[in-house]
Amino acid sequence: MRIGFYAPLKPPDHPVPSGDRLVARLLIRALEAAGHEVQVMSRFRSRDGQGDAIRQARLAALGQRQAERIKRRVHLQGIGLAPPQLWFTYHLYHKAPDWIGPAVADCLGIPYVVAEASFAPKQAGGPWAAGHAAVAAALARADAVIGLNPTDAACVRPLLADPARYHALPPFLDAAPFAAARDARAQTRTGLASAFGLDPAQPWLVTVAMMRPGDKLASYRLLGTALARLADRPWQFLVVGDGAARTDVAAALAPLGRRVALAGALPPDRVPETLAAADVFVWPAVREAWGMALLEAQAAALPVVAGRVGGVPAVVAEGETGLLAPDGDDAALATAVAALLDDPVRRHAMGSAAVRHIAARHALPAAARALDAVLEGLA
């Protein structure tokens, strides 16, 4: 099947790495692995982060013009854009609605599918009222909605023409690079110890997260407060990430002193080996949907300590592959980290369980089969 793919928040080839971009790429890979032909239909970004009604109206008009342009290109044909047989939009919410897909799907008479949509009734009549209404209309039009975050289902299902059009899909990743990274752990750990002045004899905590204002910075600040409670234990902390809030992040972690190594941003192909070289992944996950980094850490055989937030409990098996602390509770987060620092046998067992957990529930081949089953039902 020819699938037209669109991500209103951030296109899959955007130059700035993010979890959202990664999930878009993984969805495309899963669709292709199932035998479908995928073409990105537009790179138009519809997001307005400020609640500016004038900007939203302009974005809506631009999106509608994009839809008209796509329809003309399809009808003209012969110019490299074969008509899609299904439209697939990834990640809808009120700040980044889909102004393109429903119009093109209606014009071509093809199914319209959404993966990962959230809907907040409290946004009705608020600063993003237009986007809120557009998301509701898109969901009402959708022939299928694929839910990656189980916490979204309660508000999304009532908007569908038929609740049976909602299909839960566990978040997923390509586990193969992490398997290779696990095999090279000892060598990588030696190299990282030399590069960042880390002591390989001590347990390493690690996190991988962008450094940007808002929820990410709030997580880093909570993390700094939590880890400051553990000054009586041996550990070191490797931080992978960069961004506009780097100075603020460094300030939040400064009380931890020389235990912290800021590695900066790493190429995506180096993330698996860096994770696999550590001992515990820790991230408070303030207002996270579910967190791709939590899946990556488990694939690298790391136990996870995170906040019990949003869809995090759906990707971390509490007590089996990690420990979850109440949202915003730095003392509980510290207690969970301490429990794994103090018990190397337990953290190794959790890391092994994490690898099995990812293989059974969150690997790309299973996602490809599940997506194909949904789409075949629309053919």
Confidence at residue 290, expressed as pLDDT on a 0 to 100 scale: 85
* In the block, residue with structure tokens 């860096």: 274
Cα separation values, 165 from 22, 107, 145, 157, Å = 25, 21, 6, 8
pLDDT class of 135 with cuts at 50, 70, 90: very high
* In the block, residue with structure tokens 């991988």: 208
Confidence at residue 16, expressed as pLDDT on a 0 to 100 scale: 85
Confidence at residue 75, expressed as pLDDT on a 0 to 100 scale: 73
160 neighbors 137 (Cβ within 8 angstroms): no
Name the helix (H) or strand (E) containing 115.
Answer: strand 112-117
- pLDDT at position 21 over 60: yes
pLDDT tens-place string over residues 44-75: 999 999 999 999 999 999 999 999 999 988 87
pLDDT class of 101 with cuts at 50, 70, 90: very high
* CATH superfamily entry for domain 2-172+364-376: Glycogen Phosphorylase B; (3.40.50.2000)
Q: In the chain, which segments carry CATH 3.40.50.2000?
A: 2-172+364-376, 176-361
Q: Identify residue 344 by its one-letter amino acid code.
A: P
Confidence at residue 201, expressed as pLDDT on a 0 to 100 scale: 96
Phi-psi region of 109 (alpha: psi -120 to 50; beta: other; left: phi over 0): left
CATH of domain 176-361: 3.40.50.2000
